[in-house]
Structure 1
């Protein structure tokens, strides 16, 4: 290995993409975080109000959303984003078939989606190289 190769190898890695996971279910949140971290930074919101506050404070590369939230229908969150011209990709991950699926970029059904399918869909939406999981 020459000096340039050694210096290249020591360069810091680019920051991991930041994903917002909006889901009231603690078990699902734990599974998703375990699956994606450390390659992807995951911030969780357990309610619509939490998600709206986080979206005002931070930019996210992807939103994974279960629209069944304790304080409202999360699909309104998508509508609000689109009305504000925010085009962050949205992956609906839900037990119910979404009525506004055309406003999301992808849909995966709970609980029938495998961890591998969730990983692959997330990587595709983040335009990351697919790493075998």
Structure 2
């Protein structure tokens, strides 16, 4: 290894993409985090209120959202995010079919989506290279 290669090896890696997972279900949250970490940082909000607070304070590369939240309809959160001019991609991951006018970038049915389908959708929305990933 020459000196240039040694210095290249010491450069910090690019930060992992940051995903906000909005879902009240603990089991789904655990499965999703297990699937995505460590390649992707996952933060969780179990309610619309908690998600709105996180979105006001932090930047995320992707929002994974269940439409059925204890304090309201998750699609309303997507509409509010869009109304603020935020264009963060949204993956609607829910047992409930989205409305015809939903503003999510993609929809996957829960629990019938395979882990591989979920991983591929997340990578596509984050524009990650699938060949490098898993």
Verify same fold: TM over 0.5. yes
Q: Is the 8 A contact 2:75 2:102 kept in 1?
A: no
Find the aligned partners of 1:98 and 1:82 in 2 and give their Cα distance.
Answer: 16
Count of aligned pairs between the two proteins: 133
The SS at the match of 1:103 is coil
Q: Mark the runs of 5 or more structure 2 residues left unpaired by the alignment.
A: none
What are the within-5 Å matches in structure 2 for residues 83-102 of structure 1? 83-100=83-100, 102=102
TM-score for the superposition, normalised by structure 1: 0.96
Residue 100 of structure 1 and its aligned partner are, at CA, apart by 4.8
Q: Which contiguous aligned blocks of 4+ residues in structure 1 show a shift greater than 2 angstroms?
A: none
The SS at the match of 2:91 is strand
Residue 95 of structure 1 and its aligned partner are, at CA, apart by 0.6
Q: Mark the runs of 5 or more structure 1 residues left unpaired by the alignment.
A: none
TM-score for the superposition, normalised by structure 2: 0.95
Residue 113 of structure 1 and its aligned partner are, at CA, apart by 0.5
Cα distance, 1:100–1:38 mapped onto 2, change above 3 Å: farther
